[in-house]
Amino acid sequence: MEPEKNFINYALFVSFFPTITSGPIQRGRKLIPQIRERHPVSFSAFQEAVFIFTWGAFIKMVLSDRLGIFVDAVYSGSYTGWVQVAAACAYSVQIYTDFAGYSFMAIAVAKLFGFDLDENFHQPYFAKTIADFWHRWHISLTSWFTEYLYFPLGGNRKGKPRQYLNILIVFLVSGLWHGAAWSFVFWGCLHAVFQIAAHVTRKSRLQLAERFHVNMESAAYRVWQSICIFAITTFVWIFFRAGGFMQAVEFIQRVFAEWNPWVLFDGSLFHIGLDPFEWNICWGSLLLLFIISIAREKGYNVQAVMRQPAVVRVLIWWFLFFSCLILGIYGEGYNASAFIYAGF
Amino acid sequence: MKGKYFKRAVALITLGVLTLAMVWYSAQVLLIKRTDGITTMQGLYAQPEDSVDVLLIGSSHAGMNVDLSEMWNEYGISAYSPWGSVQPTWNTYYFLKEALAYQTPEVVVMEMYGSTVSGEYSDDARQVTNVLGMRGSLNKVEAIKTSSPPERWRNMFLLFPVIHGRYSSITRDDFMHFPWTDGLENEKGDSKRYGYGYPELKDASGVTDIMQLYPKTEEYIRKIIELLEERGIPLIMLITPTFTSIEEQPCYNAVQVIADEYGVPFYNMNLMREKAGIDSSDFYFDAGYHLNTKGARKTALFLAEVLKEKFELEDHRGDPKYESWEDNCKNQQKSYLRMVTGVEDYFNELKRMDCAMFVIKNSSWEMSDNYRTLLDSFAQISSNSKEIEASGGGDWLLDGVNQGTLINYYFGDLYSEFDYDGHRFTADFKNGTGISVDGKMLVPLGEPGVICVVYDKESRTCIDAVQFLKDNNFQLERFPVQ
């Protein structure tokens, strides 16, 4: 695209308020033409924006922030075994819904002003490989690093060893971009290692699949791949969440300190930040997220909602809105015992 | 084209209105209820217009230490108390302003325990309870801004950040709590408590120190006085008895100075215990921070006599406009009866009521001191306690507790039923099913003892069922009555 010479347009691009705080990172070739053009807001775009915003608020306030209570309790405690595993998995969902929720809200606000932004998350935990994961997670950051770092370094055009080095450099820089701490660097490094390992072992894995007659196009295999990617990213997220490299190592050590899978069934988790009612809300929200994610994976988007009768649209929006209003994690929390009249 | 825009506008407005209505409904359901400050203020709005003659404001010492239903019972005084727990004087001021927007009392009585509050803000929960019951108004905005630190204002104004967390505690009652269903017009802000704290009472009469009141506390005491002066409504300041009198007396001495400055009558009941009749520790509840109902009745009568002496307060008993005070009095009496666990206290309460008793002695036993005490209690409400003593097992109906008439329905085959006031009372020893009224089991038959069912003639319902068992030394035990 041609350089933007209009300072106002450039300033608006740089300071575009819906995305300036936490993305999605916008590219000039996508946003500046929209700034230059006149694009009145349509009623349908307004409706879509309202739905997208409310969906983003729902997954952030109802699911992400709620799981955060459990995750925070475990990370600040000294639990062992499968409680740690549960917290690690919960964090994977928490960080996704937090970030994706925010991205949806930013995209919706931009849409209210007539700007179309690209999606930033595309069901990342449905990915089949680590590379695929990064094509679905924080898509705007991945494409930025690809275009401004990976390609200038040579990409995959200078042989395998150089390609692997380039991947490592990109992920190390990505780690540093997330935070100036060794844990983030290690987090990036791990992603690079897994991605390189996937490259290196690809041929042997294909041969193995052929030998054991595994249909790699089958739904079962795709589910297996997604489970593996979820497990790998969950493990790596520990370094992201733990607050330090040694804390992450300690967290992982506690996972293996005790073999106690019964804690997932005997109600132990109900005493760690979230009671059964709260867990039910989590599971219900997670189920809804899963269903919506499947629909989006199959190509359905907000227009599918817009095609429904008005009554259905209103009911869907009311469900999301009142879920946020009543079940959202915000405000002061309610402690019934504080209101019991004692010691007046 | 214009038609399309018009339809869209109508659709959006309709959606907006419906959404707001649902938000309002959600707020009503989630609002914290049955808590001091909130329902006492909501109850004020529910009172008949210009019906409150005496407005009693202040902290829990106002609402819990003065039995307003006793003031009605004895003198027909229509009193209301929009109190809040640990209510600082600034919240009392805003409550007063709110009350004066809906009522024109003959006199305002301010319980001054709030003068002991020292601190810029109450605790978090009280910041909520002392404003949330108020209707939306500039007064409420000012109350929030005065009661809470600025970082909390947004949450308090938006309401949902404070109350939405109740979603996991809501009950059936929360869905019934609307101005047209909550029955708050029959509540007057007072409540009953049964129990004994037996604190050590201290004589504060020798305490002459005058402490400096917290500036914000004093500021709002003065605002209250000046507001009432402006409105031409007389004020009386009151300290109800408290066992912490010595520690607080320097504060009350400071209040006395302010009262003298404005010429406001100030009654410190800690210095008037004998005159008020609260001269022993068995008038106190819990650890002594508040009075029990026995004590609250005493302060009510003391206050009523002061008010009758100083003001011409109309006796509203019998006036249909004040029916809710009569209802409150009766409801309070019935609920209090169900709280009482002491034998002597129980029969003293029965003497205050117009009810019938259905009594069964299901066996016979030797005389004991405790049984004699029980029979003496029956003797207070019936002339036929000797028949209860003599019988080897049978049932009696004591009709009209205060009249003492006895109707004997002795049964020989361990089964008896009879009709009273349109209800079928049954006592079945034969099949062991117990005592039932209109087929509904009230009391299962058990160990040897005396069983009593209390029937309220006004509501025509059984309001209590108790037993005095031989093996429990004839102490009172209660059955839940639905």
Identify which of A113, A67, A86 has the alpha carbon closest to the alpha carbon of residue A289.
Answer: A67
* pLDDT at residue A117 is higher than 50: yes
DSSP class of B213: P
pLDDT band, residue B418 (cuts 50/70/90): confident
Q: Closest partner residue to B26 among A322, A336, A339, by Cβ? A: A322
Q: What is the mean pLDDT of residues B262-268?
A: 97
Query: What is the pLDDT, as a whole number, of residue A145?
Result: 94
Q: What is the mean pLDDT of residues B12-40?
A: 91
Contacts B128 to A, Cβ<8 Å: 339
Does the CB of A279 have a partner CB in chain B at under 8 Å? no
* pLDDT at residue A125 is higher than 50: yes
pLDDT band, residue B412 (cuts 50/70/90): low
Higher pLDDT, B274 or A255: A255
Query: What is the pLDDT, as a whole number, of residue A42?
Result: 86
Cα–Cα distance, B303 to A276 (Å, whole number): 51
Cα–Cα distance, B332 to B350 (Å, whole number): 13
User: Around Cβ B335, how many Cβ atoms within 10 Å?
Assistant: 12
Q: Which of B168, B169, B191 to mutate to test the interface with A (most CBs of A within 10 A)?
A: B168
DSSP class of A324: I
Query: What is the pLDDT, as a whole number, of residue B53?
Result: 97
* pLDDT at residue A213 is higher than 70: yes
Does the CB of B11 have a partner CB in chain A at under 8 Å? yes
ipTM of this complex: 0.86
Contacts B155 to A, Cβ<8 Å: 331-332
Q: Which residues are bridge partners to B443 per DSSP?
A: B435
- For residue A277, give the chain B residue with the closest CA: B168
pLDDT band, residue B79 (cuts 50/70/90): very high
> Using one digit for the tens of pLDDT, what is the confidence trace for A294-338?
999 999 999 999 999 999 999 999 999 999 999 999 988 777 666
Q: What is the mean pLDDT of residues B321-340?
A: 93
Give the SS3 label for residue B437.
strand
* pLDDT at residue A112 is higher than 70: yes
Q: Is B167's CB within 8 Å of A331's CB?
A: no
Q: Is A338's CB within 8 Å of B169's CB?
A: no
* pLDDT at residue B406 is higher than 60: no
With contact defined as beta carbons under 8 Å apart, do B281 and B200 qualify? yes
Does the CB of A333 have a partner CB in chain B at under 8 Å? yes
Determine the distance in angstroms separating the CA of B253 from the nearest CA of chain A, rounded to an integer.
22
**Residues of chain B above pLDDT 90, percent:** 62
Selected residues 121-160 of chain B with any CB under 8 Å from a CB in chain A: 123-125, 128-129, 155, 160
With contact defined as beta carbons under 8 Å apart, do B334 and B102 qualify? no
Query: What is the pLDDT, as a whole number, of residue A344?
Result: 37
Cα–Cα distance, A45 to A220 (Å, whole number): 38
pLDDT band, residue B266 (cuts 50/70/90): very high
Q: How far out from the chain centre does Cα A173 lie?
A: 19
With contact defined as beta carbons under 8 Å apart, do A72 and A287 qualify? no
Determine the distance in angstroms separating the CA of A334 from the nearest CA of chain B, rounded to an integer.
5
Cα–Cα distance, A33 to B257 (Å, whole number): 76
Cα–Cα distance, B298 to B304 (Å, whole number): 10
Which stretch of DSSP H or E encloses residue B360? strand B355-361
**Catalytic residue set of A:** 178
Cα–Cα distance, B252 to B242 (Å, whole number): 12
Residue carrying structure tokens 């404005």 = B262
Of B208-222, B394-408, B457-471, the poorest mean pLDDT is in B394-408
Whether pTM exceeds 0.80: yes
Query: What is the pLDDT, as a whole number, of residue A179?
Result: 85
> Using one digit for the tens of pLDDT, what is the confidence trace for B284-307?
997 778 999 999 999 999 999 999
Q: Closest partner residue to B86 among A275, A278, A344, by Cβ? A: A344
> Using one digit for the tens of pLDDT, what is the confidence trace for B372-391?
999 888 888 876 667 677 66
Cα–Cα distance, A284 to A290 (Å, whole number): 10
Determine the distance in angstroms separating the CA of A337 from the nearest CA of chain B, rounded to an integer.
10
State in Å, rounded, how far the first CA of chain B is from the last one: 63
Joined tokens for residue B220 = 């709002």
Does the CB of A72 have a partner CB in chain B at under 8 Å? no
Q: What are the backbone dihedrals phi and psi of residue B55, each rounded to the nearest 5 degrees, phi first? A: -105, 120
pLDDT band, residue B1 (cuts 50/70/90): low
Q: What is the mean pLDDT of residues A59-66?
A: 96
Q: Is B129's CB within 8 Å of A339's CB?
A: yes
With contact defined as beta carbons under 8 Å apart, do A131 and A193 qualify? no
Compute, in degrees rounded to 10, the torsion defined by CA atoms B10, B11, B17, B18.
Answer: 150
Length of chain A: 344
Angle at the Cα of A274 from the Cα atoms of A271 and A277, rounded to 5 degrees: 110
Q: Is B162's CB within 8 Å of A277's CB?
A: no
Query: What is the pLDDT, as a whole number, of residue A343?
Result: 35
Does the CB of B40 have a partner CB in chain A at under 8 Å? no
Higher pLDDT, A11 or B432: A11
pLDDT band, residue B200 (cuts 50/70/90): confident
Contacts A275 to B, Cβ<8 Å: 168
- For residue A338, give the chain B residue with the closest CA: B125
Contacts A336 to B, Cβ<8 Å: 166, 169
Query: What is the pLDDT, as a whole number, of residue B61?
Result: 94
Query: What is the pLDDT, as a whole number, of residue A69?
Result: 95
pLDDT band, residue B400 (cuts 50/70/90): low
Pairing relationship of beta strands B440-443 and B449-456 according to DSSP bridges: unpaired
Q: Closest partner residue to B164 among A277, A318, A326, by Cβ? A: A326
pLDDT band, residue B479 (cuts 50/70/90): confident
Cα–Cα distance, B481 to B153 (Å, whole number): 45
* pLDDT at residue B403 is higher than 60: no
Cα–Cα distance, B366 to B200 (Å, whole number): 39
* pLDDT at residue B392 is higher than 80: no
Note the helical H segments in B36-149.
38-46, 60-63, 68-75, 89-102, 124-129, 138-147
Query: What is the pLDDT, as a whole number, of residue B394?
Result: 62
Query: For B286-336, where are the E strands, in sequence order?
Result: 290-291
pLDDT band, residue B153 (cuts 50/70/90): very high
Q: How far out from the chain centre does Cα B75 lie?
A: 18
Residue carrying structure tokens 């300072």 = A7
Contacts A273 to B, Cβ<8 Å: none
- Alpha-carbon distance values, A26 to A6, A15, A115, A119, B55 (Å): 18, 11, 11, 11, 64
* pLDDT at residue B138 is higher than 90: yes
Rounded to whole angstroms, the maximal C-alpha distance in chain B is 97
- Alpha-carbon distance values, B407 to A222, A320, B375 (Å): 85, 66, 17
Angle at the Cα of A301 from the Cα atoms of A40 and A46, rounded to 5 degrees: 25
Query: What is the pLDDT, as a whole number, of residue B383?
Result: 63
pLDDT mean across residues, chain B: 89
Query: What is the pLDDT, as a whole number, of residue B89?
Result: 97
Does the CB of B26 have a partner CB in chain A at under 8 Å? yes
Joined tokens for residue A191 = 């992603």
